[in-house]
């Protein structure tokens, strides 16, 4: 069995490839994950609710890369409160949709990087 690092696992997932074999794309459509890798049968969508970990990642991306910079611009006086709220609110509606796929891929990579024994355990079946 090929040994891979945790970093490789995350990068493969972020690139949309199976974290174990790199042979399959993770999504069967724009927003739906495949349930299993078609090559090595690694579970990609394990059960209902399994990929909910992508939600805090999506939230963190939105806060760190959108809301926080806007808050800083407001605090140093570049943006008014109304402009800040309108731009932040608009971004909070659009950015989670725009980063949905990335969040799912990142969550998958982190999951298998933190629990690499599941890659091996599933591989041996
Ligand atoms: Zn695979």
pLDDT computed for residue 80 by the predictor: 96
State the pLDDT at residue 20: 86
> Does residue 41 register a pLDDT over 60?
yes
Cα angle: 83, vertex 61, 66; to 5 degrees:
15
The rounded Å distance from CA 99 to ligand 1 centre is 23
Predicted pLDDT of residue 24: 80
How does pLDDT run across 50-69, given as a tens digit for each residue? Answer: 888 899 999 999 999 999 99
Give residue 102 CA to ligand 1 midpoint distance, Å.
Answer: 18
What is the pLDDT confidence band of residue 18, given thresholds at 50, 70 and 90?
very high
> Which residue has 């990642």 as its token pair?
57
Tell me: the pLDDT tens digits for 63-119?
999 999 999 999 999 999 999 999 999 999 999 999 999 999 999 999 988 887 777
Centre of ligand 1 from the C-alpha of residue 93, in Å: 33
Burial class (CB in 10 A: 0-12, 13-18, 19+), 104: buried
Please give the distance, rounded to the nearest whole angstrom, from the Cα atom of residue 26 to the centre of ligand 1.
9
Contact between 81 and 4 under an 8 Å Cβ cutoff? The reply is: no
Q: Where are the domains of the chain?
A: 6-124
The Cα 125–Cα 123 span in angstroms is: 6
**Residue 72: its pLDDT value, please?**
97
Alpha-carbon span 103 to 16, nearest angstrom: 11
How far, in Å, from the CA of 21 to the mean position of ligand 1?
Answer: 4
In order of 22, 35, 77, 87, the CA distances from 112 in angstroms are 14, 15, 43, 36
Cα 96 to ligand 1 centre (Å): 27
How far apart (Å, rounded) are the C-alpha atoms in residues 109 and 66? 23
Between 4 and 88, whose confidence is greater?
Answer: 88
Q: Quick check: 23 pLDDT over 80?
A: yes
pLDDT reported for residue 124? 46
């Amino acid at each position: 069995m090929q040994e891979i690092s945790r970093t490789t696992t995350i990068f493969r997932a972020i690139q949309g490839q199976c974290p174990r074999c790199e042979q399959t794309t993770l999504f069967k459509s724009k927003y739906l994950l495949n349930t299993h890798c078609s090559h090595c049968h690694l579970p990609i969508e394990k059960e209902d609710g399994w990929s909910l970990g992508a939600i805090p990642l999506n939230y963190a991306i939105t806060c760190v890369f959108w809301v926080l910079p806007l808050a800083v611009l407001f605090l140093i006086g570049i943006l008014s409160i109304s402009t800040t709220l309108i731009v932040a609110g608009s971004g909070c509606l659009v950015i989670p949709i725009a980063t949905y796929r990335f969040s799912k891929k990142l969550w998958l990579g982190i999951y298998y990087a933190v629990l690499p024994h599941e890659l091996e355990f599933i591989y041996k079946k």
